[in-house]
Amino acid sequence: MNSLLPASFAQHAIDVEGVRINTRVGGEGPPILLLHGYPQTHAIWHLVAPRLAATHTVVLTDLRGYGDSDKPPSDASHTPYAKRAMARDQLLVMRELGFERFAVVGHDRGGRVAHRLALDHPRTVSALAVLDIVPTRHAYRRADADFGRGYYHWFFLTAGNNIPEHLIGGDPEFWIRARMSARHHGGTPFDPEAQAEYVRCFSDPAAIHASCEDYRAASSIDLVHDEEDVAAGRRLTQPLLVLWGEHSFVGRHYDVPAVWAEYADNVRGAALPCDHYVPEEAPEKTLAHLRDFLAAHNRP
């Protein structure tokens, strides 16, 4: 267990239908689930979670395939790493902890899991916040040369024949540090202990493979589910907060609130003075926006 979070955050290994999800829980009050992105673990929230715990019960998890959670085998359909499967993990974790209704905040891949969780279980998710993403469907449908250059990893990580697994596995520490440094702009520097934790977890070949499966699912089965939602008229009905880095690809290439308004009924948002890793680069402003949003929409 890393020391980035206070000892008051109890650690649990919660079994959900045969997949163990590494979980930390701290604080008291209305429940909120925080989900990390690629290539991080729950440790990305180390500057935000302890202060949210002053007013909330804060639950942090490692997504399946990441951190110290299980890395179940995949298949040709990539369904085990569909956001629907990953979202169900989180639903069952919260139920195991006794929470039937809760707010969710997701950064990057965790934002995509949170989006799916809110769509599939609208009565369970009381409020939703997503950090530095637009919906997967929107990103793929409007992909161009700029997107390919900025988000080349979306295509590289989906390659077959274990190509990304082999190349990343040759020097996972370089991959982690290079990816993160390329998407940081001013603000709070990365904590060396946090980066060491990401490197530790990602040095497991099973984690590299699972994370590739996450991206392979996003380019295949996830898009099928997304198109089904659009065809059925399913939208996010919960209050939605969108935060993004003004220097990030998302901030520079999309009208973020307008994009999300195509998928959600009640959107508010703000750009923060950072790049992609919003909770680590701009923790104070992230915390302020989350506190205001949760105070209005996540009462007991």
Q: Residue 245, CB half-sphere, CA atoms under 13 Å: how many?
A: 21
Catalytic residue among 56, 247, 276, 289: 276
Name the phi and psi angles at 140, rounded to 5: -70, -40
- The full DSSP string for 127-178 is EEEEES---HHHHHHT--HHHHHHTHHHHHTT-STTHHHHHHHT-HHHHHHH
Respond yes or no: is residue 276 known to be catalytic.
yes
Name the phi and psi angles at 29, rounded to 5: 125, -165
Question: What's the rounded Cα separation, in Å, for the pair 47 and 284?
Answer: 8
Catalytic residue among 68, 89, 108, 132: 108
Respond yes or no: is residue 292 known to be catalytic.
no
Provide, for the chain, the percentages of residues in helix, strand and coil under a 3-state DSSP scheme, each rounded to the nearest 5: 45, 20, 35
Before 39, cis peptide (omega within 30)? yes
Question: What's the rounded Cα separation, in Å, for the pair 287 and 243?
Answer: 11
Name the phi and psi angles at 205, rounded to 5: -55, -30
Name the phi and psi angles at 284, rounded to 5: -65, -45
Q: What kind and span of H or E run contains 60?
A: strand 57-61
What is the strand order of the sheet 125-131 is part of?
10-16, 19-26, 57-61, 31-35, 102-107, 125-131, 236-245, 264-272
CB 32 within 8 A of CB 105: yes
The whole-angstrom distance between residue 58's C-alpha and the CA centroid of its chain comes to 15
Residue keyed to tokens 């390659």: 159
Q: Which positions are annotated as active-site residues?
A: 108, 276
